[in-house]
Structure formats: structure tokens, C-alpha cells
Structure 1
Amino acid sequence: MKVNYSSSPQPNLCSNYTWQQAIVWAKETLKKSSEATDSARLDAELLLCYVLSITQASLYAWPDKPVMKPQWQRFEYLVLERCLGRPVAHLLGQQGFWTLDLQIDASTLIPRPETELIVEVVLDLNLPTQARVIDLGTGSGAIALALASEYPHWSVTGVDQSPEAVNLAKINAHRCDLERVNFYRGNWAQGLVKDVNKPLHCVVSNPPYIDAQDPHLSQGDVRFEPLSALVANDHGMADINIIVRQASQLLAEGGWLVIEHGYDQGLKVAKLLACLGFELVATRKDYNDHDRVTYGQWSGRVPAIELGR
């Protein structure tokens, strides 16, 4: 990709440019790139703060401070990488989620604000003081760690089929001082046996739910994320189907399943839960007014249609 450097400070003069001028250059460069973003100003600020090891508040407070040559070289590199489409979270190696600061790499999905809705829904449920919660497809550990941070007495476990994801989740548990959260490798809940003495009170999941032919897969940050964490067969419903059936076998009577899904899958997921014996099924919309999270309470009764399968 060709980038216009006409407005760029020359390396030997960069100490004459201020933090504010660096932001202006980066914003304009990002806007003119082939991967133009609606958040050019924010991206520029986040990248410069990362290079300078300062907060955005400091950036606003001292806009006339100079950018030194090593700082400029690093900042310029990151801006040009962003021009090529690389996610800001990957460039920074971190992403905020809930109240946590998580380490991020290309082995997992980047935690997104809409996924915080799962945490909100679970926290609104009437779960026991010492609830047993499992997060299927935990990725970076975002959901599991967010829940554990709110309820220290909950027993929270995260499962992922990717060894790299499990390792990253463990790093984040240490980073967030939440090492009591257990993470292990597994294919959803396969092999997990229901313990009648210690049943699960809540199953949560943000599984792959995008159809393989969805055009959004060739746009934005998802191009840099693992397809295995994004795409599912059966028009995006295959893994959701597996998780709902497994949850019905593992939950205590009165336990809850909370699952994230695509904006156009709310009715399908709600119908699936109802057909498999879940009650009080409901769907919550995200901040963009899209169906995003569906949940239901396990009745303890397997429908006759399932008994006859």
C-alpha cells in the first residue's frame, strides 16, 4: 500500500513535532489509507499513548510535548500497520473488557463491547452464592474472568479447544490476579460428566456463529482473527446446537444457559432452547439494537421428542 508521507515529520526532525501534531498526522494518514477507519482519531491516540507509555488524559494535558526520534519511529510503524488493516488490539497486545485489561494476540477473538452483554445477563440471574459456572469457548478468558472478578466465591472454569487460547487465558488470569479461575483444553463440554453433588449452575458461551459465506468475514478486524472461532456449519448454528444440548445434560435443575449469537439468530436460538426443555427463554439486544444474547433456565425435563431420538 502506498502512503503519502508529505505531511510526515522527517525522522531527524521528529523531536520538533508535538504529541498533538503526531496525532493529526496519524489521523490524516489513517483516513487516506485503503483501510480507512471511522475511529482514526481514537486509533491514533491509542497508538501514541502506547508508544509514549502514557494515558489519554496525559495526552490531552500536555499536547505540546515533543515526540522523540525512537518514539516517532515506533509510532510511524504502528500507524502504517494499522493502515494495512491490522487490529489496534493486536498492535497494542491488549484490550479492555468489562473492568479488566487483557493480553490479546492472534490466537483468539478480540473481546468486543457487545460481548459484555453476556456478563450483564449472568450477573442479573439469581445464581447461588457459590455458583459453579463454565465458559465454553473461552478464548482469551474474557467472560470467565469478568464473572470471577464480580463474584469471588463462584467457581468459574473456562474451556477452549485451542491450546494457544488456553495458555493466553491463563496468562490473563495471572495478569488480573484471578488465578483461581481454571482453564483447560476441551471440545466444548465433551467429556465433562455431570456431578450430581456439584452440578453446574450456569453455562455461558460466545461460540462461532458466522456462516462461512458471510461477506463480513472479508472485512475489518475479523480478517486477522482465527476462522475456527468465527465460523460454524449449518449457517452458523452448528456449534450453538451442540452447546445447547450439552448444557441440558450438565446443568442443575433451575440452572441457566446464556449464549451469544448473530444479530439474525435470536429467534432460532430461542426456539432451540424451548424445544430442548429450557424455560423462561428470552433474548437481549446489544447497544446497536441487535439480538445478541439468548438465555433460558433448565427445567430438568427432557422433551419427549428428545427421548425418542
Structure 2
Amino acid sequence: MRKINLLEQARERLFQAGIEEAASEARLLLCWACGWTRMELMQRDDVPDEVAEKFQAAIQRRSQREPVAFIIGEQGFWTLDLYVSPETLIPRGDSETLLEALLDHRRDRQAVRSVLDLGTGTGCLLLAALSEYPQAWGLGVDIAPAAAALAQQNARRNGLSDRADFMAGDWAAAVRGQFDVVLSNPPYIEHADMARLMPDVAVYEPHRALDGGDDGLTAYRILCKSLPRLLAEGGCAVLELGIGQTQAVTELAEAEGLTVLECRKDLGGVERALVLAFSKESSWLMG
């Protein structure tokens, strides 16, 4: 079939389904179906019939608002390529703000030796951190066993399986020891707002990784109580925030003796990454 006809039909179908980037998504899915690079897409005129069928099936799925990442089975994050599945949130560029903040606060790439990622999902935060800190070992925890298993696959895919372990658990309840770095992108959407999410998210991504309870802060209460025992002296935690949550999470953190070092904005200007520290000495003096 003619490539130009396939793309035009696909673009129109996606546009009618409410997909804003209909043309670019159609090109991306055709590259995936054909196994072509973008350059090869520009150079080819015809698409084999069997590949056209695979492409049209993908367009049908996308027109029903299934995320592209779930259709192709992977998503890029930081410098990594990661497998994704409906058991996990799709890694988003906003979450890279946590890595940027971490790298600024822990500049010595050789000094970080241990990283904990709570609610690890695909393992994106933990694996990105390990890729930047070559001496570090990391542990990722997720309440869903299937998510922890997928994260382990991503560690193997990115050559980090010898420095990353994953387990199923309820936040840090089963975690012992202290860590130089603690990362988390917890569920933070207020329960009442879940019904207003776009269908790509509401229908296909796991609600347990999105729903933050009545006020969106349920997970932060658990995390802030756990951080004082989890952070090694001189360590830091970086938590992802939802829109407008900075003050509330700051108050929760300070009530547990944590100190806010920075709140880093993402590229959209949203305060996205809260950097926290805990001093055992100052805690003893306060107590």
C-alpha cells in the first residue's frame, strides 16, 4: 500500500478520536510497525500489506485512546529505553526533574552508594539514578509484583541488573537499612479528580499509582514518616509533587524533622521535585 495514503487515513482517524498530535503519532506508529527509522520512513513509498495491517490495528487501538507506549511496549526516559505495561505508569518527562535535582544536590558521582525507589513502577527513577552513580546499588519497591518484575526486566535491558534489586512491598514497611538517596513518585491525584483524567490515563494506567486519597496526600504521610529512618546521614530524598502540593507536603515533611533543600520546577513551570534531608544530630537535639 502507498505510505502516503496510509498516513493520511491514520491521521484523520486519530484526529477524529481527539488525538492532538495525530500526524506525528501516525508517523511514529508506522515506523514501529515497519521497523523503520524516521529517515527510512521519509525514503520509502510503499508499505507491505502485512505491515499495513499491523499499522492499522495499532491505529485502531490508539483511536480508542490506548497510550502509544502501551501499543509499542516501551518508552524512553532519561537516557534509558524501558519496557512498559498496564501494570505501571508510563514514565513522563516531568519526572526527569527529580533526576536533575538529585544530580545538583549529590554532585560527587562516586560518593552515592545506595539508592531506594519507593513505588518504583517501571524502575525508571532508580535505573536512571544508577546510570549516573556508577558505584551505587539500588532497591526498588512496588506494591504490585508484576511491576517489580517488569522493573527487573528493565534493569537487565539497560545493563544494570547487577546493581539493582526489586521487591513487592507496601512502601518501606519491609525495608531495612539506610540509603544515601531515596526517590519516589507516589500517587498524588485527589480521589475526586480521578474521574476527570483524560481517557488515555483513566482507562489504561493503574489507578493505584494515581489515586492519592481524598486530599492527594495519603502516600506523602507514609513517606515522610519513613524517611527519617531510611536516610543515611548526609543523604537526601527527592519526591515528585502534583500541582499545588508544595506547601502541604513541606508541612508534612517538616513535622517529621525533615528539611526542605529545594523545590525544583519542571519545564512547564510546575513545582515538581521536593528535595529533603534529615539530620540525625539535629533531630537528637530537638528531641
TM-score where L is the length of structure 1: 0.86
Answer yes or no: is the 8 Å Cα contact 1:98–1:116 preserved in 2. Answer: yes
Q: Which residue type is aligned with residue 227 of structure 2? A: A
Q: Which one is further off, 126-135 or 98-107?
A: 126-135
Q: Which has the larger radius of gyration?
A: 1
Written as runs of structure 1 = structure 2, the 5 A alignment for 1:1-309 is 14=1, 17-18=2-3, 20-33=4-17, 36-60=18-42, 62=43, 64-126=44-106, 129-180=111-162, 181-194=164-177, 199-215=178-194, 217-223=196-202, 224-300=204-280, 301-302=282-283
Code of the aligned partner of 1:237: L
Between 150-159 and 217-226, the greater mean CA deviation after superposition: 217-226
Distance 1:275 1:77, change over 3 A: same
Identify which range, 124-133 or 102-111, moves more after superposition.
124-133
Is the CA contact (8 Å cut-off) linking 1:109 and 1:140 kept in structure 2? yes
Q: Distance in 1 between matches of 2:48 and 2:68?
A: 22
Contact 2:115 2:181 in 1 (8 A): yes
Equivalent position SS for 2:141: strand
| 125-134 or 45-54, larger mean C-alpha shift | 125-134
Which digits, 9 at most, give the CA deviation of each residue in 1:62-104, with x for residues without a partner?
1x42011111111111101111110000100111111111111
CA contact under 8 A between 2:87 and 2:147: conserved in structure 1? yes
Q: Percent same amino acid at aligned positions?
A: 35
Distance in 2, Cα, partners of 1:227 & 1:44:
28
* TM-superposition CA deviations, 1:101-136 (whole Å, max 9, x none): 111110000001101111111111226624211000
Contact 1:270–1:283 (8 Å) recurs in 2: no
Aligned partners of 1:215 and 1:168: how far apart in 2? 25
* Matched letter for residue 140 of structure 1: T
Task: Tell me the SS of whatever aligns to 1:203.
Answer: strand
For the residues of structure 1 that align with 2:38 and 2:254, how far apart are their CA atoms?
A: 47
Would you say how many aligned residue pairs link Structure 1 and Structure 2? 282
Consecutive unaligned residues of structure 2, counting only runs of 5 or more, are none
Q: Aligned residue for 1:11?
A: none
Structure 1 residue 275: deviation in Å? Answer: 2.6
SS state at 1:214 partner: helix
What is the aligned-residue RMSD (CA, Å)?
Answer: 1.8
Q: 2:235 and 2:64 mapped to 1: Cα distance?
A: 45
Where relative contact order (Cα < 8 A, 6+ residues apart) is larger, the structure is: 2
Q: Encode CA deviations 1:174-202: one digit per residue, 9 max, x unaligned.
A: 111110211111111112223xxxx3111
Secondary structure at the aligned position of 2:182 is classed as strand
- C-alpha distance after superposition, 1:23-50 (max 9, x if no partner): 22211111012xx111112211111011
Separation in 1, partners of 2:23, 2:90 = 20
Paired residue secondary structure (2:215): helix
Q: Is the 8 A contact 2:191 2:214 kept in 1?
A: no
Q: CA deviation at 1:229?
A: 0.7
Give the Cα–Cα distance (whole angstroms) in 1 for the partners of residues 195 and 270 of structure 2. 16
Measured in 1, the distance between the counterparts of 2:116 and 2:235 equals: 12
Query: Is residue 258–residue 294 contact of structure 1 (8 Å, CA) maintained in 2?
Result: yes
Mapped to 2, the partners of 1:215 and 1:188 lie a distance apart of 22
Alpha-carbon separation, structure 2, partners of 1:232 and 1:304? 34
